[in-house]
Amino acid sequence: MTSALMPTYARQPIGFVRGEGVWLYDTEGRRYLDTTAGIAVCGLGHANPVIAEAIADQARTLVHTSNLYQVPLQEKLGEALRAVSGMDLCFFGNSGAEANEAAIKLARLFGHRKNIAEPAIIVMENSFHGRTLATLSATGNAKIQAGFGPLVQGFVRVPHDDIAAIEKAAAENPNIVAILVEPIQGESGVRMPKNGFRYLDDLRAICDRHDWLLMLDEIQTGNGRTGKYFAYQHSHSLPDVVTTAKGLGNGFPIGACLVRAKARDLFGPGMHGTTYGGTPLGSRVALTTIAELQKGPIANAARMGERISHAFRKNLGDLGVTVEGAGLMIGVVLPKPCTELIARAREDGVLLIVSAENRIRLLPPLIINEEEADLLVEKISALVRTFLSEGASA
Ligand SMILES: *Cc1c(COP(=O)(O)O)cnc(C)c1O
């Protein structure tokens, strides 16, 4: 029987029917260690009982009322995010791309307020910001843009992690009003700036000097993934705009755009909106997720991240394998393309992502324990060692 689905994904020949913590169970009842967490989404693990109860209880109470009315749970969620972020105000949507759309609109408004008729946003090579037209235009990946022109205007692309390139763009283009950047690039395979999070302090200084907005895409790095609630909390700087989604609902779709300082008072009534953003149900789930993340999983992500990264360096360093990232956002970079490891790992009961052909991108649930972390390292190290030794003999 042919599938009724548009073939937008080259799906692996496997499907899951049940999950528990870091484990997924397929239709045959086979168990897999999930190092993907649904692509950095299920930080609290699959079928987390506290989240399940929040969903069920709220579904029995009130699911949706619209943003025509006050939504008390959305107000509470805004306060919770303000407390964990140091930001001031929130707008809620349903995905990462929507959160970034809000940020892009804010940057343009900010520009127009300064009488810049065609405001431009600096974006990076190898970045990923989503699949809507504006966010794919911001994305630094030709494959994602191919076939969808004309792209949305108003983006200036520079190499990632290159302060001089930004200064050069500033000198050449008086229309720049903002920088949109991932603290650690995710989709392109966990690319960490060479000075780590000090990069964000450098970007903050540039934005202050030029009166630009610093807009951080923390859709993947946020919600505890790097061992702090937001990745910028490893730096000494606050952004003007932060977007997040993925881990915010542990699998329930919700995204947020957070603002402060120069970006705080740009949107007024009627200037932005969405039917579903911040429903009572979504807000309740995200509130519960934030509370649960702070009870241990974020600290655990820092600890287990160290343990896993250290072990990979020790096990595979002699083979030219390097490790980058922070917390449980770990890139294991091989000296040759390794997409075939996805299938081999799956046969060995491990789900993993390979990005940019040679980068194993590990994003396990933040609740992974020592035993599971060690199993992950042991299995992947063995696969990588065999794989690289084959290359040597060929
Ligand atoms: C996943 C992701 C997005 C897009 O989020 P969606 O929910 O898929 O729209 C944007 N930016 C980054 C950094 C992401 O990882």
Span 294-315, average pLDDT:
98
pLDDT value, residue 39: 97
| Nearest-atom index, ligand 1, CA of 95 | 7
Copy the structure tokens of residue 190.
């966990």
Span 125-138, average pLDDT:
98
Q: Which of 127, 137, 185, 187 to mutate to test the pocket of ligand 1 (most atoms within 8 A of CB)?
A: 187
Element containing residue 122 per DSSP (H, E):
strand 120-124
Span 275-294, average pLDDT:
98
pLDDT tens sequence across 29-38: 999 999 999 9
pLDDT value, residue 391: 62
pLDDT value, residue 2: 87
> Does the pLDDT of residue 168 top 80, yes or no?
yes
> Does the pLDDT of residue 265 top 60, yes or no?
yes
Is residue 8 within 8 Å of residue 330, measured between CB atoms? no
Q: Which of 219, 274, 276 to mutate to test the pocket of ligand 1 (most atoms within 8 A of CB)?
A: 219
| Nearest-atom index, ligand 1, CA of 218 | 13
Could you tell me where the beta strands, DSSP code E, fall in 149-278? 155-158, 176-181, 213-217, 241-244, 255-259
pLDDT value, residue 277: 97
Counting residues of the chain whose pLDDT is more than 70, the rounded percentage is 99
> Does the pLDDT of residue 394 top 80, yes or no?
no
Tell how far the Cα of 374 is from the centroid of ligand 1, in angstroms.
29
CATH of 50-293, one of 3.30.930.10, 3.40.50.1220, 3.40.50.10680, 3.40.640.10: 3.40.640.10
pLDDT tens sequence across 317-355: 999 999 999 999 999 999 999 999 999 999 999 999 999
Q: Which of 8, 128, 185, 241 to mutate to test the pocket of ligand 1 (most atoms within 8 A of CB)?
A: 128
Q: Which residue's CA is the nearest one to ligand 1's atom 10? A: 129
Q: pLDDT band at 357, cuts 50/70/90?
A: very high
Tell how far the Cα of 78 is from the centroid of ligand 1, in angstroms.
20
Counting residues of the chain whose pLDDT is more than 90, the rounded percentage is 98
The set of catalytic residues is 128, 217, 246
Span 303-316, average pLDDT:
98
Span 102-126, average pLDDT:
98
| Nearest-atom index, ligand 1, CA of 40 | 15
Taking all residues of the chain, what is their mean pLDDT, rounded to a whole number? 97
Is residue 28 within 8 Å of residue 36, measured between CB atoms? no
What is the model's pTM?
0.98
Q: pLDDT band at 393, cuts 50/70/90?
A: low
Question: Angle, to 10 degrees, between the axis of helix 198-210 and the axis of helix 163-172?
Answer: 10
Residue 199 phi, psi dihedral angles, 5° rounding: -50, -40
Tell how far the Cα of 46 is from the centroid of ligand 1, in angstroms.
20
Span 102-125, average pLDDT:
98
Which residues line ligand 1 at a C-beta cut-off of 6 Å?
A: 95-97, 100, 128-130, 182, 186-187, 217, 219-220, 245-246
DSSP 137: H
Span 38-59, average pLDDT:
98
- Asked, as a colleague might, if the bond just before 150 is cis with ω within 30 of 0, I would say yes
Is residue 190 within 8 Å of residue 305, measured between CB atoms? no
